[in-house]
């Protein structure tokens, strides 16, 4: 048994049955042993899955172009207060993993928008010291400009402790973004018991040397009842991710002015809660193949679930953000492409750039399943 399995077994022995969300948290993020602590080369061609970042530099360059357009509008705002606040603007990334996307974005800004680049601070929200180390290595050429915070809480503490209560306001002015972050957050897995017409939670316990599923009933949290329940088949499965909604709320609350954006695969609540999708969206990935056994290969396979964008959108709006757009990755990047062509920003396209754009936007690759939510304050 691996050290990580032993850690999970010990906790399961103490608690009886672990909610799947706790199992997933340990499997992915247990310090030193979790999947994302050890798998530096994931995402990537040699890993278990790849993301838009691994397609090539174009993804980061397009984001950089869009970020520059948004930030430039702030820096040049006719409103003197907004202009003064914008003398320094921030780009904040979470889920930066090995720092590749940050590098693509900063390199493009430095080359193509040097004046704005001087006003930008790049902050990374990264709870893991090990991943911070990977990121610092990748971003060493941008060292003075990049700062790390373990959480939004620590960012808040540091930024507000020197200001007087009268002048305190959310400290961030710019853009907070993530790519494939929310799908990697621990989800609760719920099942429908058609006989008793009740939801239960799937938990994890140990049998011999294996992790096995066990029901937890009653539910520890409330679910909004849906008219669809009367037609759901027995065992119908969904996931819910309070961690993602909490994260979004925390991000919204540090954003004084600017945009909060996430790119990920996911659905609206209606698309997710469809009677036809009876097994939920939770998947394990190992060497580019989806695996059925979510409890096997602990720490060696990725675990991920589709994002419920309606829940995320609602969480942001409840914190006072306005939803600017919700689109597919193909629509989002094509709008950027049109602007870059008008401005001739990228000059003549190489065949590599064309290939990258096609992969990022083709409906059967990353174009349709990935969605982009942009909210602003």
Judged by the rule CB under 6 A, the positions of this chain that interact with ligand SAM are: 36, 43, 51, 53, 94-95, 97, 101, 125-127, 131, 179-181, 184-185, 247
Shortest distance in whole angstroms from residue 263 CB to ligand SAM: 8
CA atoms within 13 A on the CB side of 363: 0
What is the C-alpha to C-alpha distance for residues 367 and 119, in angstroms, rounded to an integer?
Answer: 32
| C-beta contacts of 196-203 below 8 A and 24+ residues apart | 197/229, 199/223, 201/19, 201/20, 202/20, 202/237, 203/17, 203/18, 203/19, 203/20, 203/23
What is the C-alpha to C-alpha distance for residues 50 and 47, in angstroms, rounded to an integer?
Answer: 7
Q: Which residue lies nearer to ligand SAM by CB, 68 or 155? A: 155
What is the C-alpha to C-alpha distance for residues 19 and 219, in angstroms, rounded to an integer?
Answer: 10
Shortest distance in whole angstroms from residue 349 CB to ligand SAM: 23
Q: Which residue lies nearer to ligand SAM by CB, 19 or 95? A: 95
Q: Which residue lies nearer to ligand SAM by CB, 17 or 298? A: 298
Of 191, 187, 184, nearest in space to 128 by CA: 184
Q: Which residue is nearest to ligand SAM (CB)?
A: 95
Q: Which residue lies nearer to ligand SAM by CB, 126 or 239? A: 126
Q: Which residue lies nearer to ligand SAM by CB, 50 or 326? A: 50
Of 37, 28, 65, nearest in space to 338 by CA: 65
Shortest distance in whole angstroms from residue 171 CB to ligand SAM: 18
Residue 50: CB partners within 8 Å, gap ≥ 6? 43, 44, 288
Q: How many residues does the chain have?
A: 377
Q: Which residue lies nearer to ligand SAM by CB, 43 or 191? A: 43
Q: How many helices (H) and strands (E) does the chain have?
A: 15, 16
Count of CB atoms within 10 A of residue 120's CB? Answer: 22
What is the C-alpha to C-alpha distance for residues 290 and 309, in angstroms, rounded to an integer?
Answer: 22
What is the C-alpha to C-alpha distance for residues 235 and 284, in angstroms, rounded to an integer?
Answer: 19
Shortest distance in whole angstroms from residue 95 CB to ligand SAM: 3
Supply 209's token pair.
Answer: 């040397």
Shortest distance in whole angstroms from residue 57 CB to ligand SAM: 13
Shortest distance in whole angstroms from residue 368 CB to ligand SAM: 18
By CB atoms closer than 10 A (0-12, 13-18, 19+), residue 141 is: exposed
Shortest distance in whole angstroms from residue 15 CB to ligand SAM: 22
What is the C-alpha to C-alpha distance for residues 44 and 335, in angstroms, rounded to an integer?
Answer: 27
- Per the DSSP assignment, residues forming a β-bridge with 139 are none
Shortest distance in whole angstroms from residue 236 CB to ligand SAM: 27
Q: Which residue lies nearer to ligand SAM by CB, 118 or 137? A: 137
Q: Which residue lies nearer to ligand SAM by CB, 185 or 206? A: 185
Shortest distance in whole angstroms from residue 65 CB to ligand SAM: 18
Q: Which residue lies nearer to ligand SAM by CB, 180 or 239? A: 180
């Amino acid at each position: 048994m691996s050290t990580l399995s032993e850690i999970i077994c010990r906790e399961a022995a103490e608690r009886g049955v672990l909610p799947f969300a706790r199992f997933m948290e340990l499997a992915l993020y247990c310090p030193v042993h979790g999947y994302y602590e050890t798998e530096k080369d994931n995402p990537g061609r040699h890993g278990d899955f790849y993301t838009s970042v691994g397609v090539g530099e174009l993804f980061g360059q397009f984001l950089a172009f869009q970020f520059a357009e948004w930030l430039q509008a702030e820096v040049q705002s006719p409103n003197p207060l907004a202009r003064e606040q914008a003398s320094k603007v921030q780009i904040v990334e979470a889920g930066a993993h090995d720092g590749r996307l940050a590098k693509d974005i900063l390199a493009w800004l430095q080359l193509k928008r040097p004046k704005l680049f001087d006003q930008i601070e790049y902050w990374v929200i990264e709870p893991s010291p090990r991943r911070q180390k990977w990121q610092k290595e990748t971003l060493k050429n941008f060292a003075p400009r990049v700062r790390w915070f373990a959480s939004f809480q620590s960012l808040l503490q540091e930024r507000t402790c020197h200001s007087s209560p009268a002048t305190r306001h959310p400290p961030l002015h710019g853009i907070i973004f993530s790519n494939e972050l929310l799908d990697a957050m621990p989800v609760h897995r719920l099942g429908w018991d058609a006989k008793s017409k009740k939801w239960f939670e799937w938990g994890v316990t140990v049998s011999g040397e294996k992790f096995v599923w066990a029901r937890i009933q009653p539910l520890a949290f409330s679910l909004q009842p849906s008219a669809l329940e009367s037609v759901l088949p027995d065992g119908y499965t969904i996931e819910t991710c309070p961690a993602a909604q909490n994260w979004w709320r925390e991000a919204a609350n540090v954003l004084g002015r600017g945009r909060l954006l996430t790119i990920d695969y996911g659905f609206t609540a209606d698309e997710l809660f469809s009677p036809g999708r009876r097994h939920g969206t939770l998947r394990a990935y190992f060497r580019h193949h989806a695996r059925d056994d979510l409890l096997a290969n602990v720490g060696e396979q990725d675990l991920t679930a589709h994002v419920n964008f309606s829940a995320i959108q609602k969480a942001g709006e409840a914190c006072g953000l306005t939803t600017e757009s919700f689109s597919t990755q193909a629509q989002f990047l094509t709008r950027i492409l049109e602007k870059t062509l008008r401005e001739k920003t990228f000059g003549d396209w190489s065949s590599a750039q064309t290939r990258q754009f096609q992969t990022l936007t083709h409906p059967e690759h990353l174009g349709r399943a990935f969605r982009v939510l942009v909210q602003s304050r």
